Amino acid sequence: LVGLQDQTELAVDIFQDHFKMLFFHTLLLVNIALVLFIAFHGFPSPALRMRGITFFVPINPPRKNAGRKGPG
pLDDT number for residue 39: 72
Helices (H), 1-72: 2-41, 46-50
**Mean pLDDT across 2-25:** 85
| pLDDT surpassing 70 at residue 12 | yes
Report the chain's C-alpha Rg in angstroms. Answer: 25
pLDDT band at residue 35 using 50, 70 and 90 as cut-offs? confident
| pLDDT surpassing 60 at residue 72 | no
The domains of the chain are located at: 2-50
Round the average pLDDT of the chain to a whole number and report it: 72
